[in-house]
């Protein structure tokens, strides 16, 4: 995001915090496509995403005073609000649809990890033919997807049909690499 846009959005947010409805409209128009994309990428339903988007802007109106331009970029602040709202919506839907079988799946915990670790080792051995570069790219994609979708380790493992231990080891490896790159940036 360029500096000018960031400053414009920050100024609009500060005006919204003071109750400026026109600033609210300008902020909406400048960001709605981006925030709609965030909602849609998580909710995966256009109509529901529109509901979530409306909720996001109501939160923006109510919480604009919490934005501090010294602590972060305005678009990131808004995007995170959209992400969190979409995840809340998704989880609320999930709770409504939950079956006893799903509850049982959620109760899978680290107690089973030794078995998973064993499977992970087997899988890692089978994947030895993959290049490290491919593995790293997959790890980073897994981390991105997990964060944007609000998924925990066990949810990532379930969604990808992978052993929990494999998911953890891949993601942790990716996190350490990302951190190195964050430090060197």
Partner 1 sequence: MIDRVSLSEERQTLAAELALGLLERVERLEAERLRFEHAHFADEVERWEAHAAGWVADLPPTEAPASSWTRVEAALGRQQLGEPMAPAPAQSSDPGQGWQFAAMAASLAAVLFAGLWLTQSGDTDPADEGLLRAEAPRFPTETLSVAQISGKDGADWLVSAAYDEAEGTLYLRLNAIEGGDRVPELWVIGPAGVPRSLGFAEESGSQVIVLTPELQQQMIAGSTLAVSLEEPAAQPSDAPAGPILGTAVLAPLVADAGPTGAAAGGATG
**Which segments of the chain does DSSP mark as H helices, in order?**
3-17, 21-43, 46-63, 74-97, 100-106, 113-126, 132-149, 153-160, 164-184
Q: Which is nearer to partner 1, 70 or 132 (CB)?
A: 70
- Report in angstroms how near the CB of residue 120 gets to partner 1 at its nearest: 15
Q: Which is nearer to partner 1, 1 or 115 (CB)?
A: 1
Give the Å distances, CA to CA, from 57 to 24, 45, 89, 140, 166. Answer: 9, 18, 15, 30, 39
Q: How many residues does the chain have?
A: 185
Verify binding: residue 93, partner 1, rule CB under 8 A.
no
**How many angstroms separate the CA atoms of 173 and 162, rounded?**
16
Candidates 120, 156, 162, 163: give the one binding partner 1 (CB under 8 A): 156
Stretch of 36-44, 117-125, 130-138 lying at the interface with partner 1 (CB under 8 A): 36-44
**How many angstroms separate the CA atoms of 179 and 113, rounded?**
26
What residue ranges bind partner 1 (CB under 8 A)? 1, 21, 24-25, 28-29, 32-38, 40-41, 46, 50, 53-54, 57-59, 61-63, 65-66, 68, 71-73, 75-80, 82-85, 87-88, 91, 95, 109-110, 143-144, 146-148, 150-154, 156, 171-172, 175-176, 178-179, 182
């Amino acid at each position: 995001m360029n500096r000018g846009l960031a400053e414009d959005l920050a100024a609009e947010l500060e005006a919204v915090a003071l109750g400026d409805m026109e600033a609210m409209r300008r902020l909406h128009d400048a960001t709605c496509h981006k925030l709609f994309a965030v909602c849609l990428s998580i909710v995966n339903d256009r109509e529901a995403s529109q509901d979530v988007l409306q909720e996001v802007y109501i939160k923006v109106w109510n919480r604009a005073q919490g934005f501090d331009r010294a602590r972060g970029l305005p678009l990131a602040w808004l995007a995170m609000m959209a992400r969190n709202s979409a995840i809340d919506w998704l989880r609320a839907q999930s709770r409504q649809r939950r079956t006893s079988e799903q509850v049982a799946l959620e109760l899978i915990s680290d107690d089973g990890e030794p078995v998973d670790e064993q499977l992970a080792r087997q899988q890692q051995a089978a994947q030895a033919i993959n290049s490290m570069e491919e593995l790293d790219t997959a790890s980073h994609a897994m981390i991105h997807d997990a964060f944007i979708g609000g998924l925990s380790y066990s949810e990532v493992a379930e969604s990808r049909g992978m052993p929990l231990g494999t998911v953890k080891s891949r993601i942790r490896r990716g996190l350490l690499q990302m951190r190195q790159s964050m430090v060197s940036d």
